[in-house]
Amino acid sequence: MSWNITPPTDLERLRKHLKVPAEQMYLDILRISMERVERESPDTVYTIQEQLDQLDQLKIQKSNLVSSGSYGLTYKKVDVLEWEWGGGDPSSGVAIQEAELVKDIATALHIELPESNGYGTLGRS
């Protein structure tokens, strides 16, 4: 199995989902990792592509939650006869799934991602 080179390319999808800076050094690391996976484990390429598709769907799902106005709102019981909007985030499940997929992809590519807030450097593991 080979990487998709038609837009949107797998390189660009990986860069976007893994939050890899669009700088030559980081893109080279990502390309090298992709080439290694393709050479050593072609089946993993297909798995990563499926995970990228899942991430795309989760992004759409999250966007739909935001546009529907239900993002961050859940019902909480106030009284026996009343309900009011309260805190909570129905998209937290989506965020957890996204984080797990991103971690799985990074592990498959043998790259380390920054641990907090998207800051840090991309490195080879």
Domain boundaries, the chain: 10-124
75, 82 contact by CB (below 8 A): no
Res 53: pLDDT:
96
- DSSP letter, residue 80: S
Predicted model pTM? 0.74
Which 3 state secondary structure label does DSSP give 111?
A: strand
- DSSP letter, residue 113: P
Q: Each residue of 13-65: pLDDT tens digit? A: 999 999 999 899 999 999 999 999 999 999 999 999 999 999 999 988 888 87
Q: Give the integer Cα–Cα distance in Å for 1 and 17.
A: 21
What values do phi and psi take at 93, rounded to 5?
-65, -40
Higher per-residue pLDDT: 107 or 113: 107
